[in-house]
Chains A and B, each alone.
Chain A
Amino acid sequence: DTAVSQTPKYLVTQMGNDKSIKCEQNLGHDTMYWYKQDSKKFLKIMFSYNNKELIINETVPNRFSPKSPDKAHLNLHINSLELGDSAVYFCASSQGSGPGNTIYFGEGSWLTVV
């Protein structure tokens, strides 16, 4: 029974395409995140939502648009894909965003732009 699930796990697409990655959590958490892991395994936060409201947006190009239809879902849409967007994208969730909260990650979505 996966706690944070994301689809697709693997995605290969051409430059210029638009793609979406979906994320759902069944932990009853109210805060969800997107993190990006680059080819050197460096991880950085992209966005954070609390109860469907955007609370963190880390200087991500506006080709990336998160959408939270409800607090259990946070989808990531990427327009006009570029080679540099190739990465692993991790969805995550937590109960609240204060100190002491634990953030739980999904399995990751491996995006390759060719």
Chain B
Amino acid sequence: GDSVTQMEGPVTLSEEAFLTINCTYTATGYPSLFWYVQYPGEGLQLLLKATKADDKGSNKGFEATYRKETTSFHLEKGSVQVSDSAVYFCAPLILGKLIFGQGTELSVKP
């Protein structure tokens, strides 16, 4: 069935470090791909999206590229800040449903 595998957390980084959170998915067809972020005690916010192969989504310094050949959508940021501490969710949109990964908790230390 359709599924998403995300990098296990928690991920702990120092401020200004480079971030990669891996995401791979299994799905029929070519779904749109999303990253959502959940800050502590808050709701889900859309971070970025990509709708077709080789598209790059970007927002707030975060980027992810739709890789059809590896069915991946890895999230990257060149220099993280303490304020980026949150849980990050990868999710393809399949038949009208977002299929979420288990979430990756990121903790950024000053």
Chain A residues with CB under 8 Å of chain B are 31, 35, 40-45, 48, 55-56, 58, 90, 92, 97-108
Which bracket fits the contact residues of B?
A: 20 to 34
Residues of A within 8 A of B103 (CB): 41-43
Query: How many contacts A-B (CB < 8 Å)?
Result: 58
Residues of A within 8 A of B42 (CB): 107-108
Nearest-CB residue, chain B, relative to A6: B43
Q: Which 4 A-B pairs have the closest CB atoms?
A: A97-B96, A107-B43, A105-B44, A43-B100
A43 with B51: CB separation less than 8 A = no
> Closest Cβ of chain B: how far from A28's Cβ, in Å?
17
Nearest-CB residue, chain A, relative to B97: A45
A99 with B97: CB separation less than 8 A = no
Q: Of B43, B49, B102, which contacts A41 at CB under 8 A? A: B102
Given contacts A41-B87, A44-B100, A48-B96, contact A90 B49 (CB under 8 A): no
Nearest-CB residue, chain B, relative to A41: B103
Q: In residues 27-56 of chain B, which contact A (Cβ within 8 Å)? A: 31-32, 34, 36, 38, 42-46, 49, 51
> Closest Cβ of chain A: how far from B26's Cβ, in Å?
16
Given contacts A90-B43, A99-B51, A105-B36, contact A42 B96 (CB under 8 A): no
